[in-house]
Amino acid sequence: MDNYTVVMEFFLMEFSDTRELRVLHGFLFMLIYLATLIGNFLIIVLVTLDQCLHTPMYFFLKILSFFDFCLISTIVPKSILNSFSNKSTISFLGCVLQVLLVIHFAGSEVFILTAMSYDRYVAICHPLHYDIIMNKAVCVQMAAVSWFFGGFFGGLYSGGTFSLSFCGSKSVPQFFCDVPSLLKISCSKDHLTINISVTIGIFYGFFCLLAIAFSYVCIFSAVLSIPSVQGRSKAFSTCLPHLIVVATFLLTGAIAYLKPVPESPSLLDLLLSVLYSVLPPTLNPIIYSLRNKEIKAALRKLLWKLGGNVKQ
């Protein structure tokens, strides 16, 4: 019989070998995590409570905030715990769940970003038919489809990855469990299942990217034809934040997944992973809130109501 080892846990890569720097990393990640949770939770509450925000655009924004909330909660708390506890382990089941949930929420988020670009396309290019095209049923169906695609790819990637054998090193060259790093330490030579999964995922991402690009080509063509400077400014203000979010999320994710995984990742490699896994969920509330008059107005109304209740 061949010798084999049942993998019970993996070792995640740390940002530093120095105890003080690991604690500093833990505090920084904790601050980022708390700010992200508060920002995304605030958007969910404001869009839910304020009747003025019950529109397709803000419905998708609420769904995006929920996915961001879940995505960062899948990655960052474990990294914080490891930094403070002076260990870098994650159980085999925990690693499986991390891959499943990260791919699930990231895949769902890609479709929601596509749906948001389509919503802006209809609002700007076909304003007279907007209420008919983007009705409540269509928005709910798009949200359900995003959840389905996320679950499909999450199951596909996690099933394909953990059907491989891990009989050598258990040190994952990443601060969380992701597919490229796990493939790097797998001792299986046949990666056919996961290669097919990744190919399907690439086609999915490419289709969403094409749909977003087509939407924005049409949007910018329509915006440039608007005679009013104020009208162009308003259209750009609703589209540019979304474009920044899409570019940050898709480009950094594509680079991190398509580039070869080094034997010993540098701090730069880890920071690149932070850019696509931690930064987008953190930036989304800031990008959509600071330049959004409706969100700021809803926040003022909520604070006014809370202040009135406290005085009573």
Residues 254-272 have pLDDT tens digits of 777 777 776 666 777 777 7
pLDDT, residue 188, reads 79
User: Which tokens go with 30?
Assistant: 């904790």
Q: Helix, strand, or coil here: 8?
A: coil
Q: Would you say residue 6 has pLDDT above 70?
A: no
Give the whole-angstrom CA distance, residue 154 versus residue 70.
14
| Residues in a beta bridge with 91 | 9
Q: Which residues of 21-41 are buried (b: 16+ CB within 10 A; e: fewer)?
A: ebeebbeebbebbeebbebbe
CA separation for the pair 81, 24 (Å, rounded): 12
User: Do residues 203 and 40 lie in contact, with contact meaning Cβ atoms separated by under 8 Å?
Assistant: no
Pairing of strands 9-12, 171-172: parallel
SS3 of 89, please? strand
Instruction: Tell me what the mean pLDDT of segment 17-35 comes to.
Output: 89
Burial 155-178 (b: 16+ CB within 10 A, else e): ebbbebbbebebbeebebbbbbbb
Q: For 9-311, which CATH class? A: mainly alpha
Tell which residue, 257, 277, 115, has the closest CA to residue 197.
257
The more confident residue out of 19 and 218 is: 218
Express each pLDDT in 44-56 by its tens digit.
Answer: 999 999 888 999 9
Listed by start position, the domains of the chain span 9-311
> In 3-state terms, what secondary structure has residue 167?
coil
**pLDDT tens-digit profile of 57-94?**
999 999 999 999 999 999 999 999 988 887 888 999 99
pLDDT higher than threshold 60 for residue 312 = no
